[in-house]
Amino acid sequence: MNQFTTDIVDALVKKQDITEVFRSHLETAVNTLLTTELTAFLDYEKYDRIGFNSGNSRNGSYGRKLHTEYGDLNIQIPRDRNGEFKQQTVAPYKRSNDTLESFVIHMFQKGVTTSEIAGLIEKMYGHHYTPQTISNMTKTMTEQVEAFNKRTLSARYVCVYLDATFIPVRRETVSKEAVYLAVGIREDGTKEVLAYTIAPTESAFNWQELLVDLKERGVEEVLLFISDGLKGMTDAILSVFPKSQYQTCLVHVARNLSHKVRVEDRSEVCDDFKTVYRADSQEGGQEALDDFCKKWKKAYPKLTKSLAENPYLLTFYRFPQSIWRSIYSTNLIESFNKQIKKYTKRKEQFPNEEALERFLVSQFEDYNHRFATRCHIGFDKARAELAAMFETKE
């Protein structure tokens, strides 16, 4: 029995008006969606260190009342410091000409489960729909999925982030499968989800197929690819984009180091490694790496040998300094993947791959819309240098 059901039973036992129960839960749901929407817009959780110096932040909220058949809802509309956030959650409640189907799709895109949507519709409109009926309504998004996968992409991208996350999907039985994701940043600093694919496991071969798809849809030049260093990844990338450069995620490298040294050395090793990617120049980074390997060679010879022989640790230093913090790791795409997983945890399960795709594309389109005109931090300062790098590359 969930809290909503418990509250209804309690109200009935006490012979209270259950309309207030509906109103209260609806108010909570709307406020939760508004908060989640701002988190997705800012691209980081509240109090997350990723948000420090990001250029925008939370800035409180303002109250307003929303009239419904269950009474007034006290809504807190969250604000961002730059005044760029435009919430969409309350739109279905405001407009009298919204169809029930558009409301269902809107809630589905927000990560609300089909069972929750069915229950909410029955409370609000008095219509009883099964979760399967709700699922059928969301199938109108199939055309949206096809359009997303076939759309023409830009010819140039400064960098493309590659990362996979694992989401449960049913194929007779339920198992977590890899969702491969590519996010690109253009010369003007705007970013978008370029492509995705779904497979039971993660492999360099599947990544290569995704990269071929990017090329077939119009991508001609990518200055830099960033990923977590999966075995065979560099070969897969260079086989499709031979003129591109590659940066292995240094946050992943640091994380791996922490698991390969003794607990008593862990803090010192990680602090020492940070100097490698916090130097003022590529020469400084190389010197820091040499010092790191020299210091820890005796205690961890295999580990330091592996680092010294890795040609993809310091690639980011070849780019404008204003974007270094954005390109030495895959934090940008991992943050987005965390948002996706947060939404998917609310789903009972994805009954098939098509249902998962419909959900994913709704999230990708929302992401692309939010960042279509927003320049990623540091890229505005680097625009001239990046344009020159494209010309030199040719």
Contacts of 271 (CB under 8 A, 6+ apart): none
Tell me what the mean pLDDT of segment 341-366 comes to: 79
Last residue of a domain, one of 41, 67, 98: 98
Say yes or no: 279 and 179 in one domain. Answer: yes
**DSSP H or E stretch at residue 28:** helix 19-42
Say yes or no: 93 and 158 in one domain. Answer: no
Confidence at residue 10, expressed as pLDDT on a 0 to 100 scale: 61
pLDDT greater than 50 at residue 282: yes
Distances (CA, A) of 160 to 11, 106, 120, 184, 239: 54, 29, 40, 4, 16
pLDDT greater than 70 at residue 387: yes
Say yes or no: 168 and 235 in one domain. Answer: yes
Say yes or no: 31 and 170 in one domain. Answer: no
Of 108-117, 188-197, 299-308, minimum mean pLDDT range = 108-117
Of 58-62, 107-111, 143-147, 205-209, minimum mean pLDDT range = 107-111
User: Does residue 33 contact residue 26 with C-beta atoms inside 8 Å?
Assistant: no
pLDDT greater than 80 at residue 243: yes
Q: Is the pLDDT higher at 26 or at 262?
A: 262
Confidence at residue 111, expressed as pLDDT on a 0 to 100 scale: 55
Tell me what the mean pLDDT of segment 13-40 comes to: 73
User: Does residue 34 contact residue 110 with C-beta atoms inside 8 Å?
Assistant: no
Residue 121 lies in a domain: no
Confidence at residue 1, expressed as pLDDT on a 0 to 100 scale: 45
pLDDT greater than 90 at residue 109: no
Last residue of a domain, one of 42, 64, 98: 98
Helices (H), 68-110: 91-94, 100-109
Confidence at residue 138, expressed as pLDDT on a 0 to 100 scale: 57
Instruction: Provide the β-strand partners of residue 182.
Output: 162, 195
* Overall domain count for the chain: 2
User: Is this structure's pTM higher than 0.85?
Assistant: no
Say yes or no: 334 and 249 in one domain. Answer: yes
Residue 114 lies in a domain: no
Tell me what the mean pLDDT of segment 341-356 comes to: 73
pLDDT greater than 60 at residue 362: yes
The highest-confidence range among 50-64, 130-144, 287-301, by mean pLDDT, is 287-301
pLDDT greater than 70 at residue 391: yes
Residue 284 lies in a domain: yes
Residue 325 lies in a domain: yes
Residue 108 lies in a domain: no
Assigned token pair, 129 = 């729909």
Q: Is the pLDDT higher at 12 or at 218?
A: 218
Say yes or no: 241 and 332 in one domain. Answer: yes
Confidence at residue 93, expressed as pLDDT on a 0 to 100 scale: 45
Say yes or no: 34 and 151 in one domain. Answer: no
Mean pLDDT of the chain: 83
User: Does residue 378 contact residue 188 with C-beta atoms inside 8 Å?
Assistant: no
Residue 71 lies in a domain: yes
Tell me what the mean pLDDT of segment 220-232 comes to: 95
Confidence at residue 59, expressed as pLDDT on a 0 to 100 scale: 78
The DSSP symbol for 35 reads H
Residue 169 lies in a domain: yes
What is the domain range of residue 93?
3-98
What CA–CA distance (Å, rounded) separates 376 from 121? 39
What CA–CA distance (Å, rounded) separates 359 from 277? 37
Residue 130 lies in a domain: no
Q: What letters, b where the CB count within 10 A reaches 16 and e where it falls short, cover 307-316?
A: beeeebbbbb
The highest-confidence range among 111-115, 187-191, 333-337, by mean pLDDT, is 187-191
pLDDT greater than 90 at residue 184: yes
Say yes or no: 266 and 363 in one domain. Answer: yes
Tell me what the mean pLDDT of segment 190-199 comes to: 96
Say yes or no: 157 and 71 in one domain. Answer: no
User: Does residue 313 contact residue 250 with C-beta atoms inside 8 Å?
Assistant: yes
Say yes or no: 157 and 47 in one domain. Answer: no
Confidence at residue 259, expressed as pLDDT on a 0 to 100 scale: 95
Confidence at residue 339, expressed as pLDDT on a 0 to 100 scale: 84
What CA–CA distance (Å, rounded) separates 288 from 292? 6
Confidence at residue 96, expressed as pLDDT on a 0 to 100 scale: 32
Assigned token pair, 387 = 């344009």
Q: Which own/partner pairs from 202-210 qualify as long-range (CB within 8 Å, at least 24 positions apart)? A: 202/164, 202/178, 202/230, 203/232, 204/230, 204/231, 204/232, 204/233, 204/235, 204/236, 205/232, 205/236, 206/178, 206/180, 207/162, 207/180, 207/233, 207/236, 207/237, 208/236, 208/239, 208/240, 210/180, 210/182
Q: What letters, b where the CB count within 10 A reaches 16 and e where it falls short, cover 289-306?
A: beebbeebeeebeebbee
Say yes or no: 163 and 271 in one domain. Answer: yes
Say yes or no: 284 and 361 in one domain. Answer: yes
Of 168-172, 204-208, 222-226, 385-389, minimum mean pLDDT range = 168-172
